[in-house]
Chains A and B, each alone.
Chain A
Amino acid sequence: MSCWETIADYGLRSIGIGERLLPRDNFTLCQQVTLIGSGMLWNIYFGIVALVTGFFLATALAVGKASKITPVRKLAEWVIFVFRGSPLFIQFFFAYFLFLSLKGVSSAFDPLTSAWLGAALVLFLNTAAYTGEIFYGALLSVPKGDVEAADAYGFSGWPRFKKIVWPTMLRLAWPAYTNEAIFLFHATTLVFFSGFPAWQQRGDALYYANYFADKTFNPFVPYPILAGYFILLTLCVVGLFGLINKRLNRHLPKERRQKMRMRPRLLMR
């Protein structure tokens, strides 16, 4: 079987298109690369869904944490504390068993027990909490002069937030947010190792890498392939976020534009 056929058979295996049976023995390098790559689709899906949806909740949480209204502030503080203070792994387990109990109550909760919705929901809340903390820090460091100038121009309330405070907050938070995005993509590998089952062996990249390592007893092939894919993904994320950073800072003269410094600050779960 040539490599092209393998790609045709297994390239979309993780979303249920193509050959149903996974290879059982005589694994070729091509099979491993194809299947692990096919699993990456899930990692990318979870990462993008959580990032895009989490972004909005994160803004809300940051504003909430900086709010003067005590109940709102307390609520935001608690959400951030609960999701940042506990391991994502435990959150996945807890959420899965919670959804499982809810399933018994009403069949409306059925989709929550499958990874595509349930795990995405947990990741959404988790990344929103981490990002919320970053945005909150940035919100506090918005220069006083910017806000005063906005006041002087007659901005207030929502327009002031949308036009002045929010863009500055994003600019300040962007390097840390890039880091968070990288670690979020790494965190997506936990999904199929916690409660959420990989239905019909449609798993993510780590699921397939682990499958091959278990079958061949040789960790030295599948895991480096996985590492290669993730380094590529990380580079893509850094590149994309760099472009957005450029756009956010486009008003600054060139020499004053902050180079995105990838100071690795740990935000791992």
Chain B
Amino acid sequence: MFSWCTDPNAIDGLAWLSCYLTTGKHLSIYVSVGTVLLLLAITAPVALAFGFGGAMAARSHFPPLSWAGRAYIAIVRGVPDIAFFLFFVIALDQFFEWIRHEVKCPDWDQPIRQGNDFVVCAEAKLPLSTAAQWVHETYGFSLAVLTFSIVFGAFAANVLFGAMRAVPHAQLETAEAYGMTRRQTFWRILVPQMWVYALPGLSNLWMVLIKATPLLFLLGVEDIVYWARELGGSKTAKFTDYPHPDWRVWYFLALLVFYLAFTRVSEIVLDRIMKRLTHGQATMGGEAQRKAS
């Protein structure tokens, strides 16, 4: 990377470290930080949308829809999230392949599950075996995003469902008295007011989401945990110019610090947003702000 790096044996101290930390492999770990941030950036809005849908379903006056919404919220609480991650990645993959199989190969006569194998015709494979490497990686990543969204959508649904119930009932009754339909009351009165009640739960959820990102490693995505294990393991002089013993403990220390810093910054930002949102609200927080100023 740098001009002084041409002969690693001739340098030591900080210069050596600067060279070591900018090898091609190390650049991949920095890129994978980007992968984690990208996952967060996509998952957060999608999970919120799932959550909104789930909360709306749970509030529905049509019993089967309401049951489905409540079941979606309830089941995630009873079961470890990691089990969901492991389950959904295979299940979604097989589900997509099965649908494509039904569409593309209608005259296939063998069963899909043969003993311990899951067999679909070659055209239905996802991604196609001829596809480029990046397609495989993108597919794996999108499966991960979808899985995260489903699991965290359930948590978000839980938070939003609670928030919708926390909006003072008088507000809704007033809307009704003004002759608003149920739909109008929902969109114009309930939804704008629920956010301040939802924000503590949602910010908590954001923290949980940040702390769940290392699980990407289990889903086969080459994320920071993967690279930390890979780069930290002992290297002999035969394969690299930078031989070193087992340094994984240092790599994971770096990850630990990264996550601590990330959650700390999020905490500070979310605090600010909360202050902004409570301003002028008819809640205890808003009242305290009014008195203080």
Residues from chain A with a CB closer than 8 A to the CB of B118 are: 217-218
Instruction: Out of B87, B205, B213, B253, name the residue touching A223 (CB < 8 Å).
Output: B87
**A90–B117 alpha-carbon span in the complex (Å):** 34
Residues from chain A with a CB closer than 8 A to the CB of B82 are: 186, 189-190, 193, 206
Residues from chain A with a CB closer than 8 A to the CB of B211 are: 86-89, 268-269
**A25–B205 alpha-carbon span in the complex (Å):** 41
Q: In the complex, which residue of chain B has the Cβ closest to the Cβ of A268?
A: B208
**Given that A98-B249, A189-B83 are known contacts, is A85 also in contact with B259, CB under 8 Å in the complex?**
yes
**A231–B87 alpha-carbon span in the complex (Å):** 16
Q: How far is the CB of B268 from chain A (nearest CB, A)?
A: 12
User: Cβ of B86 and Cβ of A223 under 8 Å apart?
Assistant: yes
User: Cβ of A187 and Cβ of B80 under 8 Å apart?
Assistant: yes
**A219–B116 alpha-carbon span in the complex (Å):** 11
**A185–B78 alpha-carbon span in the complex (Å):** 10
**A98–B228 alpha-carbon span in the complex (Å):** 14
Residues from chain A with a CB closer than 8 A to the CB of B117 are: 217
User: Cβ of B213 and Cβ of A264 under 8 Å apart?
Assistant: no
Let me know if A56 is at the binding interface, CB within 8 A.
Answer: no
User: Cβ of A234 and Cβ of B78 under 8 Å apart?
Assistant: yes
**A101–B218 alpha-carbon span in the complex (Å):** 24
**A7–B75 alpha-carbon span in the complex (Å):** 28
Q: How far is the CB of A107 from chain B (nearest CB, A)?
A: 17
Residues from chain B with a CB closer than 8 A to the CB of A216 are: 116
Most chain B beta-carbon contacts within 10 A, residue among A82, A90, A226: A90
**A193–B219 alpha-carbon span in the complex (Å):** 12
**A98–B225 alpha-carbon span in the complex (Å):** 16
User: Cβ of B256 and Cβ of A217 under 8 Å apart?
Assistant: no
Residues from chain B with a CB closer than 8 A to the CB of A186 are: 79-82
Q: How far is the CB of B136 from chain A (nearest CB, A)?
A: 18
Instruction: Out of A97, A217, A226, A268, name the residue touching B83 (CB < 8 Å).
Output: A226
Let me know if B252 is at the binding interface, CB within 8 A.
Answer: yes
**A259–B77 alpha-carbon span in the complex (Å):** 20
A interface secondary structure, majority: helix
Let me know if B158 is at the binding interface, CB within 8 A.
Answer: yes
**A51–B208 alpha-carbon span in the complex (Å):** 21
Let me know if B248 is at the binding interface, CB within 8 A.
Answer: yes
Let me know if B255 is at the binding interface, CB within 8 A.
Answer: yes
Q: How far is the CB of A111 from chain B (nearest CB, A)?
A: 18
Q: How far is the CB of A112 from chain B (nearest CB, A)?
A: 13
Residues from chain B with a CB closer than 8 A to the CB of A144 are: none
User: Cβ of B80 and Cβ of A189 under 8 Å apart?
Assistant: yes
**A144–B90 alpha-carbon span in the complex (Å):** 55
**A187–B118 alpha-carbon span in the complex (Å):** 31
Let me know if A266 is at the binding interface, CB within 8 A.
Answer: yes
Q: Map CB proximity to A onto B202-229 as digits: 1 under 8 Å, 0 otherwise.
A: 0011001011111101100000010011
Q: How far is the CB of A25 from chain B (nearest CB, A)?
A: 7
**A202–B165 alpha-carbon span in the complex (Å):** 46
Instruction: Out of A91, A100, A215, name the residue touching B116 (CB < 8 Å).
Output: A215
User: Cβ of B116 and Cβ of A25 under 8 Å apart?
Assistant: yes
Count of A-B contacts judged by CB separation below 8 Å: 129
Residues from chain A with a CB closer than 8 A to the CB of B197 are: none
Residues from chain B with a CB closer than 8 A to the CB of A66 are: none
User: Cβ of A213 and Cβ of B249 under 8 Å apart?
Assistant: no
**A223–B81 alpha-carbon span in the complex (Å):** 12
Residues from chain A with a CB closer than 8 A to the CB of B256 are: 82, 86, 90-91, 94
Residues from chain B with a CB closer than 8 A to the CB of A268 are: 81, 208, 211-212
**Given that A90-B255, A230-B80 are known contacts, is A266 also in contact with B249, CB under 8 Å in the complex?**
no
Residues from chain B with a CB closer than 8 A to the CB of A94 are: 249, 252-253, 255-256
Let me know if A93 is at the binding interface, CB within 8 A.
Answer: yes
User: Cβ of A82 and Cβ of B260 under 8 Å apart?
Assistant: yes
Let me know if B264 is at the binding interface, CB within 8 A.
Answer: yes
User: Cβ of B113 and Cβ of A218 under 8 Å apart?
Assistant: yes
User: Cβ of A86 and Cβ of B260 under 8 Å apart?
Assistant: yes
**A215–B260 alpha-carbon span in the complex (Å):** 37
Instruction: Out of A93, A189, A206, A234, name the residue touching B252 (CB < 8 Å).
Output: A93
Instruction: Out of B115, B204, B213, name the residue touching A266 (CB < 8 Å).
Output: B204
Q: Map CB proximity to A onto B250-267 as digits: 1 under 8 Å, 0 otherwise.
A: 001101100110011000
Which residues in window 89-112 of B have CB below 8 A to A? 90-91, 94
Instruction: Out of B113, B155, B218, B252, name the residue touching A90 (CB < 8 Å).
Output: B252
User: Cβ of A230 and Cβ of B249 under 8 Å apart?
Assistant: no
Residues from chain A with a CB closer than 8 A to the CB of B218 are: 193
Let me know if B230 is at the binding interface, CB within 8 A.
Answer: no
Q: List 30 A-B contacts (CB under 8 A).
A: A86-B259, A86-B260, A87-B211, A87-B213, A87-B214, A88-B211, A90-B225, A90-B252, A93-B229, A93-B255, A94-B255, A97-B248, A100-B246, A100-B248, A189-B80, A189-B82, A206-B80, A206-B82, A206-B83, A217-B94, A218-B113, A227-B78, A227-B79, A227-B83, A230-B79, A234-B78, A264-B77, A264-B158, A265-B204, A268-B212
Known: A217-B118, A226-B79. 8 other contacts (CB 8 A): A25-B116, A82-B256, A93-B255, A206-B83, A213-B87, A227-B79, A234-B77, A234-B78
List 5 A-B pairs, minimum CB-CB distance, nearest first. Answer: A186-B80, A94-B252, A97-B249, A87-B211, A223-B87
